[in-house]
Amino acid sequence: MTDRDIILSLGGIAKSFGEKPALVHVNLDVARGEVHVICGENGAGKSTLMNILAGIHQPSAGSLVLNGRTVTIADPIAASRLGIGMVHQHFTLVPSMTVAENIFLGRQPRRFAILSDGQAMVERAAELIARYNFRLDPEAPVRTLSVGQRQRVEILKALAFDAELLILDEPTAVLTPPEVDELIGVVDGLRSKGRTVLFITHKLREVKAVSDRVTVIRHGRSVSTHRTADVTEADIARDMVGRDVFLVGRKSGGMRVIGDAVLALDRVTMTNHAGRRLLDRVSFEVRAGEVFGIAGVDGNGQTELAEAVAGLMPVQAGTIRFGERDMTVASVPARQAAGLGYVPEDRLDRGLSVTMSVAENVAAANYGRAGLVRNGLVSQSRLATFADDKIREFDVRGAQPATPAGWLSGGNMQKLVIARELERQPSLLLICQPTRGLDIGASEFVYKRILDAADRGAGVLLISSELSEIFALSDRIGVMYSGRLMGVLDRADADEGRVGVLMNGGAEQAA
């Protein structure tokens, strides 16, 4: 590879925030016209690196060479002038404006210097769309578009600036599997048009599907760069974590015995104040010893389903049974007593009180069962011992019993929530988005705990928008769309194609 082929070269980039180093030493060469994936765990420094390229942060040390010239990128405007276009994870579009207006927002073609030339704008947008084969209507308002289409508008916004180097920051986080496939097609198209794409992700499957080369970042250092074709997913995972990763699967243990239903929902319906159905006649059973996975794009009723089962939101119709007992209107403590363990989707919202101590967070709901109250007072020594045990058992790093829970990292907070809920040996474990924001190491731990619970005989209701973990853990998979359970598939019959179609509401095509 000659120097002329390198569009971007980073040498020894470092960045600290206060005393905390986010990047220690990153080297990166991006060749012209390639799709280069930056891969790393949460907190490895990917976002910081991208923000340096986008001109949002300035590096503390290191050199940045673009097209053979050493540059400093003072701000995002300078970045776009240098031909670097950034597509953020969260979209920055105006829903009420059309595709064309969004693409040219702030730099509309002008007629007589001041009048905006709508006709020219639509034509230029149509031309851009045609050149990249994006299948978008330039005059459609953005609010009518799907998430995948909106993302393509974002990409066009960057391309309209003549970005040579396009940075996509975790672009698949918000997409359904069919949309991910489409995006991969879009990226292929960009490559064939000679654009260079820097693609940030921590999902191994995408690395293999999309990239020419992959650079792995760990703890703020670039640890390896490979031609994607030369490495396996396991190789990349090992670089990301720094050791061999045990990618657990449901198939591993054969000791599980599927028993009677521990949870049965019958036509459960929940409506909001406006009368819209958040849950629409949802019926299913979770049996002892099985993991029942609920897949779906966020916001299709999964949160409401979890709150209904946990007893935190009332349902308007239908019944919820724990085993034989009707628990439709039972209180949360009654459900806990009946065997419910509940790991909510957002640990900062329902999972923890961040200002209270680790000990008090892990003891909540367990005071009686764990024998922490003596003569009406909470025994401080028992509380500390209990918390210490849980910290050790669940490997909660950086925690002392008296540490405020908010001081822990996301993964360790999640372990704390799981430690609390598993303490009661629940017969029904309701666990939502269990690895959201967690790195591979912590995810591995959480998966193991979920499978252990099922092996012990608990019924597990797993709700996740992360399809890979639904597939890895579930015995049966239910798919939710718009408040309805679109279908239930046995793990053996389920593949990403069928589940993906159901996730988009297409029951007919799947059948």
Is the CB of residue 28 less than 8 Å from the CB of residue 59?
A: no
Sign of CA dihedral 102, 108, 109, 115: positive
Among 63, 116, 316, 331, binds another protein (CB under 8 A): 331
Using the rule CB under 8 A, is 312 a contact of another protein? yes
Among 72, 144, 192, 355, binds another protein (CB under 8 A): 355
Closer residue to another protein in complex, CB, 74/348? 348
The set of residues, in sequence order, having a beta carbon less than 8 Å from that of 323 and lying 6+ positions away, is 260, 261, 262, 338, 427
Among 353, 371, 490, 497, binds another protein (CB under 8 A): 353
Which H or E run contains 267?
A: strand 261-271
Size of the site for another protein (CB under 8 A): 28
Using the rule CB under 8 A, is 350 a contact of another protein? yes
Give the shortest CB-371-to-another protein separation in angstroms: 12
Task: Single out the residue of 394, 398, 393, 387 nearest to residue 414, CA to CA.
Answer: 394
Which H or E run contains 188?
A: helix 177-192
Give the shortest CB-361-to-another protein separation in angstroms: 8
Using the rule CB under 8 A, is 349 a contact of another protein? yes
Which region, judged by CB under 8 A, interacts with another protein, from 21-29, 290-298, 342-350, 498-506? 342-350
Kindly report the number of other CB atoms within 10 A of residue 444's CB atom: 18
Give the shortest CB-353-to-another protein separation in angstroms: 4
Which region, judged by CB under 8 A, interacts with another protein, from 84-92, 134-142, 276-284, 358-366? 358-366
Give the shortest CB-374-to-another protein separation in angstroms: 10
Among 173, 247, 271, 367, binds another protein (CB under 8 A): 367
Using the rule CB under 8 A, is 330 a contact of another protein? no
Is the CB of residue 467 less than 8 Å from the CB of residue 177?
A: yes
- 3-state class (DSSP) for residue 355: coil
Using the rule CB under 8 A, is 329 a contact of another protein? no
Closer residue to another protein in complex, CB, 7/460? 460
Cα(333)–Cα(8) distance, integer angstroms? 58
- Scanning residues 371 to 390, which ones bind another protein (CB under 8 A)? 373, 376-378, 380
Among 22, 167, 352, 485, binds another protein (CB under 8 A): 352
Among 86, 165, 278, 310, binds another protein (CB under 8 A): 310
Cα(270)–Cα(118) distance, integer angstroms? 45
Q: Give me the DSSP letters along 20-50.
A: EEEEEEEEEEEETT-EEEEEE-TTSSHHHHH
Cα(339)–Cα(3) distance, integer angstroms? 64
Cα(296)–Cα(481) distance, integer angstroms? 6
Is the CB of residue 364 less than 8 Å from the CB of residue 370?
A: no
Is the CB of residue 452 less than 8 Å from the CB of residue 393?
A: no
Among 280, 290, 360, 444, binds another protein (CB under 8 A): 360
CA-to-CA dists, residue 490 to 291, 331, 469, 478, 493, angstroms:
11, 32, 15, 9, 5
The encoded tokens of residue 69 equal: 């010239």
Among 351, 401, 426, 500, binds another protein (CB under 8 A): 351
Which H or E run contains 86?
A: strand 84-87
Give the shortest CB-318-to-another protein separation in angstroms: 22
| HSE-up of residue 379 (Cα within 13 Å, Cβ side) | 12
Closer residue to another protein in complex, CB, 230/349? 349
Closer residue to another protein in complex, CB, 92/380? 380
What is the x/- site pattern for another protein, positions 419-458, by CB under 8 A?
A: -x--------------------------------------
Closer residue to another protein in complex, CB, 168/352? 352
Q: Which residues bind another protein (CB under 8 A)?
A: 310, 312, 331-333, 335-336, 342, 344, 349-356, 360, 363-365, 367, 373, 376-378, 380, 420
